[in-house]
Amino acid sequence: MIALALPAQDSGTFTPPGIEELHLPAIIPWGAAEGFSKQMLLVILSVVIIATFFVIAARKQQLVPGKLQFAGEAAYSFVRNGIAKDIIGGRDFMKYVPLLFSLFFFILVNNIYGAIPLIQLPTFSHVGGAYVMAAIVYVTWIAIGIKRNGLKYFKLATVPSGVPFYILPIVVPIEIISNFLVRPVTHSLRLFATMLAGHLIVMISGAGIEFLVMQENVLLKGASVLVLGGAIAMYMLEALIMVLQAYVFTLLTAIYIEGALHADSH
């Protein structure tokens, strides 16, 4: 086990890539360890990609859309109707469409980076970005809850109605922990961990193939084909998870906002 974590000295042993590989050397270094990293570049690139695509797609505003406009409208409608309208519903879902829309496509593009050759690095395999996204959502839904229900919101969110009073001492702490402490942590770590793990698996598969191909033994060389098959399958699974996690993150955001809006009926 130690050999897996520590770089092995002899070439006969397989040395899998570790978490260190996710921290590429800074493109423009400054300070001691920090610098302008690949992740930062990718984040900026993602904003450019999303903004350019949707502004161009939405700009024409034709009643009968062209291909690009249709694609943009389909993507926009997916978040607007598929997530915001379905989950939040009612009259006021439109207010939260911009947030959900931005969240979904920002996370989606930054995840999909991991499946694109040469870029091959999901931004949220670094936990910082995931913390920021979850924090934005956390602040947002609490603000919505307070704005809608006043300070009574915290009572509504933590004291479920219809529960016998003698169970309340148990239920209330659980509600506080699950809603206000665990929720943002799981929200961010779910995204981060899936991206990190997926990226690690793809990296390890790649390194494994390379290692086996370099072996003298023909059988071991041949075994690399099996690993390649597995690597492709893992790559596909990872691509699916990248899309799925963007959807899950956005869906959960919509659910949290809905919960804050209608705290009195929960």
Please report whether residue 153 would count as binding another protein according to CB under 8 A.
Answer: no
Nearer of residues 56 and 177 to another protein, judged by Cβ: 56
Q: State the nearest-atom distance from the C-beta of 47 to another protein, in Å.
A: 5
Please report whether residue 28 would count as binding another protein according to CB under 8 A.
Answer: no
Please report whether residue 58 would count as binding another protein according to CB under 8 A.
Answer: yes
Q: State the nearest-atom distance from the C-beta of 19 to another protein, in Å.
A: 5
Q: Which residues pair with 28 in a beta bridge?
A: 36
55 to 51, 59, 79, 179: CA distances (angstroms): 6, 6, 16, 36
| Strand, coil or helix: 156 | helix
Task: Give the separation between CA 129 and CA 149, rounded to whole angstroms.
Answer: 30
Q: Pick from 83, 134, 144, 196: which binds another protein (CB under 8 A)?
A: 196
Which helix (H) or strand (E) covers residue 67, if one does?
helix 67-77
CA 204 from centre of chain: 21
Q: Pick from 9, 25, 63, 151: which binds another protein (CB under 8 A)?
A: 63
**Up-side HSE of residue 117: CA atoms within 13 Å toward CB?**
2
CA 147 from centre of chain: 28
6-25 binders of another protein (CB under 8 A): 6, 18-20, 22-23
Closest by CA to 36, choosing from 127, 47, 44, is 44
Nearer of residues 135 and 233 to another protein, judged by Cβ: 135
Q: Which stretch binds another protein (CB under 8 A): 129-137, 148-156, 158-166, 213-221?
A: 129-137
Task: Give the separation between CA 236 and CA 256, rounded to whole angstroms.
Answer: 30
Q: Pick from 10, 11, 25, 33: which binds another protein (CB under 8 A)?
A: 33
Name residues whose C-beta falls within 8 Å of residue 180's C-beta, 6 or more positions apart in sequence: 142, 157, 158
Q: Are 145 and 157 in contact (CB under 8 A)?
A: yes
Nearer of residues 28 and 218 to another protein, judged by Cβ: 28
Please report whether residue 101 would count as binding another protein according to CB under 8 A.
Answer: yes
204-223 binders of another protein (CB under 8 A): none
Q: Which residues bind another protein (CB under 8 A)?
A: 1-2, 4-6, 18-20, 22-23, 33-34, 37, 39-40, 43-44, 46-47, 50-51, 54-55, 58-59, 61-63, 65, 69, 72-73, 76, 80, 94, 97-99, 101-102, 105-106, 123, 126-129, 131-133, 136, 192, 196
